[in-house]
Structure 1
């Protein structure tokens, strides 16, 4: 009778090891954003395609500063009414979403 209880306890004890939960692993994701380095240029150095695109898209916009990066992308500091913001464009006047 003792052997029956002992063997039942061993079998039940062995089954509990299968019921244990696996450890939870946390995955950490790092996001690195690389900012393009823009250098300020004179407004006269801005390509005419960019200035024409600005006049067409925002006729009331006032261009205050212009910047250029190594990929010939332009960052424009623009004021429309009482709002100030940045616009990005390629050398051919195509707008870039950033």
Structure 2
């Protein structure tokens, strides 16, 4: 009789555990906005020779598709490789790679 009572209590307890309403979880969404980087577009022919040389040396299969400059004479370059991949590089006026 004790076993029957124990089984009945366990069964009832486990069934009520599944019958509880789930909690509503509110997810917070965080949006990050990137500020304007103050680069203005220039012609690729207006790039300093040191920057053009750095691209051709380090990325021989790359071609500069767009170029931008800011007030600190830092250059933002959009480079396309032969296989179609594109990337953005940053360089100073002396052709040294920088991270922004």
Q: Tell me, yes or no, whether TM beats 0.5.
A: yes
User: Which residue of 85, 95, 98 corresponds with 1:96?
Assistant: 98
1:53-96 deviation line (CA, Å, top 9, x unaligned) = 00000000011010000100000010112211100000000001
Q: TM-score, normalised by structure 1?
A: 0.63
Counterpart in 2 of 1:3? none
Secondary structure of 2:56's aligned partner: helix
User: Which residue of 78, 82, 86 corresponds with 1:84?
Assistant: 86
Instruction: Tell me the matched-pair count.
Output: 68
Secondary structure of 1:51's aligned partner: helix
In 2, Cα distance between the equivalents of 1:35 and 1:90?
Answer: 19
Q: TM-score, normalised by structure 2?
A: 0.62
Counterpart in 2 of 1:70? 71
Structure 1 runs (4+) deviating above 4 angstroms are 32-35
Q: Which has the larger radius of gyration?
A: 1
Listed as ranges, the gaps of 5+ residues in structure 2 are: 1-32
